[in-house]
Structure 1
Amino acid sequence: MNGPEILVGFAPELGVFVPQERRGGPTRAVTDGASTLGHVVESLGVPLTEVGALVVDGREVAAGHIPAAGESVRVCAVRRPQPVPGAPLRFLLDVHLGTLARRLRLLGVDAAYESTDIGDPALAARSAAERRVLLSRDRGLLRRRELWAGAYVYSDRPEEQLRDVLGRFAPRLRPWTRCTACNGTLRAATKEEVADVLEGGTRGTYDVFAQCGECSRVYWRGAHHDRLEAIVAGAMEEFGGAQALA
């Protein structure tokens, strides 16, 4: 770029995306005189999925604003909880977020997940076709224009990832209603209905079962239930009162 020079300042929450020298006060950036402010912000490292208001000389502008020489720009982070208008709140997670997908499903959140790397164009296209918020730690993927909506997952630790997503989007939580394997809806099932897929010890020990209406997987309160119950209890205590905004 070799055109008008502007001043750009980023909210502290966006510091993870920008070089150290841009994390303090406003710093100078040179534009090409034709690119939009949204393009300039992304060229400086910040995906627009993470940007809230863009404030130029004290007034809020759209991402399509063309910067002029001498303008002072403040790039704000998205507000939380973040509304997602126009569709039921549903998610799509990339291949690297399998544990997060299973934990969201455990809480009854609609979370589609690609267990194989289908490529960025296909993921973005699915987000648009199904109107799902794409969750990813891939900044390049979140810059794709065909995305319907997206969000960067800031941590690489599943427990922190879950808190990040629940705090940002405030989805309605309905624990134990989704299949953690395929995202299908669970229904109550009698022992007789699922007896043919149970091992002898399970048949003799447990009486309460649920079955997925999509993949037919059977669930019961087995050896890992206490660990899962702790995840559910923690999420419900912190986020259970939140209502989905979409």
Structure 2
Amino acid sequence: MNGPEIHVEFAPELRLFLPNGRREGGAAQVTTDGVSALGHVVESLGVPLTEVGTLIVDGREVPVAHVPAAGESVTVRPVQRPQRVPGAPLRFLLDVHLGTLARRLRLLGVDTAYESTDIGDPALAARSAAEQRVMLSRDRGLLRRRELWAGAFVYSTRPEEQLRDILDRFRPELRPWTRCTACNGLLKEATKEEVADQLEGGTQRSYDVFAQCTRCGRAYWKGAHHEQLVAIVEHAMSLRSERR
């Protein structure tokens, strides 16, 4: 038997999650089952709760556990920025499809775990919970898993836009050049002798300043791609200054 019918309207930022027929207006008449929570109704329409800020029913804010009644008018608002994640130092976990974003976050000194192989949604969600990391993904199904510590949808497919969006949304503390882009370990200063086994002849002759990962041992120096990395760091730092 059909339950109460409600009116649900989504903020413009959330309409990309809706089926094509509902994206333009962002509103829908929805027949509920009379027992499901409003959060379930919102997700059934395609919007992960990780992207939902507040739910307004007939002018009052309600929790996701609210059970809709007939005739209620619901407004779904996006997450407020900057988003605060309580209870743990801010750190991230990225799925297999976000390798470039992971390396750029690490370049900026942001604690970023990354799975380079597809270990499956249950394992990713379990790691997010165990390590209290914000799960970043473009997989809506993964972001709906209840065991996640916290999560966020990555809206763009372009690494530059992805990085800008995550920095704007979470405002993490930036400490450039302090983490290994390969494994997320912390870097320390190193002598040429300490990393000599990783250096080719030309590098040995041309460079004298090195860093080394305390976890995996990888050596770093200001090589051919350093200017590109500097540009990424400077742009990120300028964005942070603009928001202050």
TM-score by length of 1: 0.96
Partner of 2:6: 6
Give 1:27 shift.
Answer: 2.3
Aligned-residue Cα RMSD (Å) equals 1.3
- Asked if the contact 2:12–2:26 (Cα under 8 Å) also holds between the matched residues in 1, the reply is no
Alpha-carbon distance, 1:18 to partner:
0.7
CA deviation string 1:67-109 (max 9, x = no partner): 0000000000001110111100000000000000000000000
Question: Take 2:198 and 2:235, find their aligned partners in 1: how far apart are those partners?
Answer: 32
* TM superposition shift of 1:125: 0.3
1:193 aligns to 2:194 (yes or no): yes
Gaps of 5+ in 1: none
Q: How many corresponding residue pairs?
A: 243
Tell me by how many angstroms 1:240 deviates: 5.0
Q: 1:111 corresponds to which letter in structure 2?
A: T
Match of 1:110 in 2: 111
Gap change, CA 1:178 and 1:2, over 3 Å in 2:
same
Q: Distance in 2 between matches of 1:176 and 1:53?
A: 37
| Contact 1:172/1:242 (<8 A) preserved | no
> Which blocks of at least 5 consecutive residues in structure 2 are unaligned?
none
Deviation string for 1:3-25 (max 9, x for gaps)?
Answer: 10000000000011012443326
Residues 10 and 22 in structure 1, CA contact (< 8 A), matched pair in contact too: no
Could you tell me how far 1:63 is from its partner in structure 2? 0.3
Q: Which has the higher contact order (CA 8 A, sep 6+)?
A: 1
Using the TM superposition, give the Cα deviation of residue 194 of structure 1 relative to its aligned residue in structure 2, in angstroms.
1.4
In structure 2, C-alpha distance between the alignment counterparts of 1:182 and 1:240, rounded to whole Å: 28
TM-score by length of 2: 0.97
> 1:19 maps to which residue?
19
The alpha carbon displacement at 1:2 in A equals: 2.3
1:225 corresponds to: 226
Once the two structures are superposed, the pairs formed by residues 1-246 of structure 1 within 5 Å of their partners are 2-23=2-23, 24=25, 26-240=27-241
Which amino acid letter does the alignment assign opposite residue 176 of structure 2? Answer: P
Flag as ranges the 4+ runs of structure 1 deviating above 2 A.
19-23, 240-243
- Identity across matched positions, percent: 76
